Structure 1
């Protein structure tokens, strides 16, 4: 019978288990004549990852450098130590101050809330908190307000060339124009009636600003330092930057825009411009007189000829 012989020959056929095309042959599972080596990936050396604890100091160092750069050149946090800017700012508020724009030559403008270094002993006699070591470090890198820096925060009322004045209880005037000041603390008058600085008329020199607190009856601002070296003015060079946001506590979060009252044209006319404005009508009038005087003389000479 040929049935047995055909079965034996089938086991050795090219398509059988032992043949070159079978699963056990050279052309096995991948069908390309090349056996698959499943152990190649296991034999490759694995790259050992660095321990998290070894990377942590590097990450902390980078974070501290970035925080220091941000504090120095971009934004710094400041804590409000008093009520002199109520209700715009409350004691304990944290504000973020823009320190970038001054690097490009920008100077404080009317209506801005600015932080500035103590210009001439304004904070003498004021109690200061002694920070601990952690607070010193965090304050130095800008992660929390610095307790050692003697800085103040007020609103800019006048800039170079402005004349600022207070008569009676107000209103406060800049270059003769009255300011409508809704930010003044409720119950306060824009000007205080006293002999220690509440009544004044000053002209702001170049490179200086005149500042006042929003809590007019509770702010030792430019009005009360007119006898110091700067006559109550704050040198622009002492300005740290403009406060732009109340960042803390979350319930107090708000921006600090320039009030609308400062949108009116408050600029003082330059003396040169005033002189030119006054000279133009005079020149025109004189020219008209000369033309009127020369007219008959010319026509008369023409007739005589």
Structure 2
């Protein structure tokens, strides 16, 4: 082998290692950026059940953003993703991706992960939620909610999973009262309320979601593409009065 041939082979080898090295560096940087984006900005999730129909259906892919809650908590009417407060999910809904690639992508926020729920915020700290007024509407601080534009049509009232009358809840500090838009199929805050039949063993905190468990606000349905759209907070929640201050 001549000197020129040895020089050419060395140059080729060095060039190959340079490409590999640069590719690895780019991959590490890309993964690092993805982790940062997932941790602080946006994250992908999927809809695990029919509790948010008709707007969101099973296996819809949604995008959740986090900066909105950096300087304040969720507002009434927001659709939020939150970690399971404890036994709210069944095994099927709690399952995340099963494949190795899916689990890896879920870790960096590029694939929907399990173990979370999607509900609409009905009440924030201090709010009193009552079901229902004479027209079958849920009230918050005495203000009836106009929900016909986004909940699944109901026969008798807007809260049938927990019944149409006789229940109310006042939201503790640092907690949220959440409900699904498909009231007949949503084991939400109203479902987990303690009743007289539950006895003293029922934990009254089980009906509420800690704000610390909230991942972020759902801002868009991104898949399937034919139904993709940006989510907006319903205007009806703007009319809700602030909770009455205690003396």
Q: Same fold (TM over 0.5)?
A: yes
Contact 1:160 1:207 in 2 (8 A): yes
For structure 1, which runs of at least 5 residues remain unmatched after alignment? Answer: 1-47, 273-305
Point out the structure with the larger strand share: 2
Aligned position for 2:7: none
Name 2:197's counterpart in structure 1. none
- Tell me what 2:158 maps to: 190
Tell me by how many angstroms 1:60 deviates: 0.9
Alpha-carbon separation, structure 1, partners of 2:87 and 2:26: 41
1:283 maps to what in 2? none
Q: Counterpart of 1:146 in 2: which secondary structure?
A: coil
Question: Which of the pair has the greater relative contact order for Cα pairs under 8 Å at 6+ separation?
Answer: 2
CA change 1:166–1:114 in 2 (3 A) is same
Give the aligned CA root-mean-square deviation in angstroms: 2.4
Q: 1:65 pairs with 32, 52, 57, which one?
A: 32
> In the alignment, is residue 165 of structure 1 matched against residue 130 of structure 2?
yes
Q: How many aligned positions are there?
A: 222
Closer/same/farther in 2, CA of residues 78 and 198 from structure 1, 3 Å limit: farther
**2:47–2:58 CA contact under 8 A, matched in 1:** yes
Q: Which residue in the other structure is 1:267 paired with?
A: 242
SS in 1 for 2:39: helix
Equivalent runs, 1:102-141 vs 2, <5 Å = 102=69, 104-126=70-92, 128=95, 131-141=98-108
Question: Aligned in 2, Cα 1:269/1:194: closer, same or farther, shift over 3 Å?
Answer: closer
1:174 offset after TM fit, Å? 0.5
Structure-2 residue corresponding to 1:252? 227
Provide the rounded CA distance (Å) in 2 between the counterparts of 1:193 and 1:138. 36
Deviations 1:143-185 (A, max 9, x none): 11123xx110100000111110113772111111111102011
Aligned to 1:242, the other structure's residue is in SS state strand
How far off its partner does 1:254 sit? 1.1
Distance 1:193 1:96 in 2: 28
Using the alignment, how far apart are the partners of 2:27 and 2:217 within structure 1?
29
Task: Say which of 75, 78, 86 aligns to 2:53.
Answer: 86
The Cα of 1:100 is off from its aligned counterpart by: 2.5
Matches within 5 A, 1:201-220: 201-220=168-187
* Residue deviations 1:97-149 (CA, integer Å, cap 9, x gap): 112233x33201100000111112111454535612111111101111123xx
Q: Distance in 2 between matches of 1:63 and 1:194?
A: 47
Preserved CA contact (<8 Å) 1:198 1:223 = no
**Residue among 120, 142, 145 paired with 1:179:** 145
**1:194 Cα shift?**
5.6
- The answer (yes or no) to whether the contact 1:86–1:185 under 8 Å persists in 2 is yes
Consecutive unaligned residues in structure 2, runs of 5 or more: 1-13, 195-201
Question: Structure 1 length normalisation: TM-score?
Answer: 0.67
TM-score by length of 2: 0.82
Separation of aligned partners in 2, 1:156 and 1:112: 5
